[in-house]
């Protein structure tokens, strides 16, 4: 009998599970996967931060609105004045970044000729945010502001363009730079339509040669407060000069303005229009043409306001009957 022992089949080694193999793979190649993850994050996040975020910021600034609630010009000089501007920002954005203080040029829209620069304070861009600018303005070039003043005087509305560049910071995101460019529509003085002489009477023995005093009504539909100083107006009837009127220390505020008027009238030049066989206005109602002659503050002429006043011819019908003894 043989003592030979037959060998049975050798069992195969168990195959590692997927989890085991994955664990071994990441243990060996962790540095590679970390690098890939970082690269993907950088590829995705960096464009969002440095391209998408600035574009969103600029878009929100573009969509925001600016309303000028009031603008006051005081202490005027021939080439400078104090200005105070109250303004409100409108924004429907879900973001509320901080805008840095910046210098903004102001010009008539479409001219690209700024007439002054405003120092805009830092502000948080939330809907209804209010900002007040209060500074001294120096006019480096008079003509653009003269053009603006004439436009304000003669227009029902006008557009001004405000331009600047500022920093914008939203939360923990890096600061970005945005362009601030707004066209704002404002009401003008509308050629002083509604201007009227509400009362007048003759006087004598006045130190300034005044022989007629009265009151004038000046409507101001705008949000502007304008310190015009001592205003002199030329008066005429059908092209014939008859004298001047003065509105001393004139400050035109928004709304209705009732102002004292002092006039020096050459009565002898008026009589031929209302009395005699060839009188044109025998009913004593005469058409008076009024044109601004000058605006002077503290002894110095204000060329921008003088030009604005001179550009606007006013016409009123004045009943001189009670003054000159007519019916």
Q: Look at residues 85, 100, 206, 90 and name the one whose alpha carbon lies nearest to residue 135.
A: 85
Q: Which residues constitute the domain of residue 79?
A: 65-188
3-state helix, strand, coil in the chain (%, to 5): 25, 45, 30
Number of domains in the chain: 2
Pairing between β-strand 224-237 and β-strand 65-77 as defined by DSSP bridges: parallel
Query: Which CATH number belongs to the domain containing residue 248 in this structure?
Result: 2.60.40
Tokens (6 digits) for 303: 């060329």
- The predicted pLDDT at position 51 comes to 45
Q: Is residue 67 classed as helix, strand or coil in its secondary structure?
A: strand
Tokens (6 digits) for 276: 């005699």
Q: Is residue 1 classed as helix, strand or coil in its secondary structure?
A: coil
Are 86 and 70 spatial neighbours (Cβ–Cβ below 8 Å)? yes
Are 263 and 212 spatial neighbours (Cβ–Cβ below 8 Å)? yes
- The predicted pLDDT at position 257 comes to 98
Q: Which residues on neighbouring strands pair with residue 213, listed in sequence order?
A: 201, 262
Per the domain annotation, does 45 fall within a domain?
no
Q: Look at residues 315, 317, 310, 266 and name the one whose alpha carbon lies nearest to residue 291.
A: 310
Q: Is residue 319 classed as helix, strand or coil in its secondary structure?
A: strand
Look at residues 164, 188, 212 and tell me which one is the last residue of a structural domain.
188
Q: Can you give the length of the chain in residues? A: 327
Is the domain of 123 the same as that of 147?
yes
Per the domain annotation, does 13 fall within a domain?
no
Look at residues 138, 155, 188 and tell me which one is the last residue of a structural domain.
188
* Tens digit of each residue's pLDDT, the chain (327 residues): 445 545 555 555 556 655 565 565 555 545 554 555 555 554 444 444 444 667 888 888 899 999 999 999 999 999 999 999 999 999 888 878 889 999 999 999 999 899 999 999 999 989 999 999 999 999 999 999 999 999 999 999 999 999 999 998 887 778 888 999 999 999 999 999 999 999 989 888 888 889 999 999 999 999 999 999 999 999 999 999 999 999 999 999 999 999 999 999 999 999 999 988 888 998 999 999 999 999 999 999 999 999 999 999 999 999 988 777 665
Is the domain of 211 the same as that of 173?
no
- The predicted pLDDT at position 272 comes to 92
Distance CA 192, CA 150 (A): 12
Distance CA 100, CA 180 (A): 11
Tokens (6 digits) for 255: 């709304």
Per the domain annotation, does 115 fall within a domain?
yes
Phi, psi dihedrals of residue 54, rounded to the nearest 5°: -60, -35
């Amino acid at each position: 009998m043989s003592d030979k022992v037959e060998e049975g089949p050798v069992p195969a080694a168990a195959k590692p599970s997927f989890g085991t193999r994955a664990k071994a793979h990441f243990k060996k190649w962790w540095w590679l996967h970390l690098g890939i993850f970082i690269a993907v994050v950088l590829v995705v996040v960096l464009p969002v931060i440095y391209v998408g975020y600035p574009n969103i910021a600029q878009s929100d600034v573009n969509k925001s609105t600016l309303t000028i609630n009031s603008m006051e010009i005081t202490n005027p000089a021939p080439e400078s004045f104090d200005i105070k501007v109250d303004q409100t920002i409108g924004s429907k954005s879900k973001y509320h970044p901080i805008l840095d203080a910046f210098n903004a040029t102001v010009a008539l829209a479409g001219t690209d000729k700024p007439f002054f620069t405003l120092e805009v304070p830092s502000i948080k861009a939330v809907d209804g945010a209010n900002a007040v600018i209060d500074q001294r303005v120096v006019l480096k070039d008079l003509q653009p502001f003269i053009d603006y003043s004439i436009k304000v005087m003669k227009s029902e509305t006008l557009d001004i363009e405000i331009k600047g560049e500022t920093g914008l910071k939203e939360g923990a995101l890096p600061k970005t730079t945005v362009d601030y460019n707004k066209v704002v529509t404002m009401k003008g003085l509308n050629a002083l339509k509604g201007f009227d002489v509400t009362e007048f009477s003759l006087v004598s023995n006045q130190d300034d040669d005044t022989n007629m005093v009265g009151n004038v009504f000046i409507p101001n539909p705008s949000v502007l407060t304008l310190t015009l100083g001592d205003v002199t107006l030329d008066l005429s009837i059908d092209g014939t000069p008859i004298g001047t009127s003065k509105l001393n220390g004139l400050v035109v505020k928004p709304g209705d303005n009732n102002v004292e008027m002092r006039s020096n009238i050459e009565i002898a030049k008026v009589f031929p229009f209302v009395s005699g066989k060839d009188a044109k206005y025998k009913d004593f109602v005469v058409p008076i043409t009024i044109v601004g002659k000058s605006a002077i503050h503290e002894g110095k002429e204000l060329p921008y306001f003088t030009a604005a006043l001179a550009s606007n011819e006013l016409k009123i019908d004045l009943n001189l009957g009670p003054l000159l003894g007519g019916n």
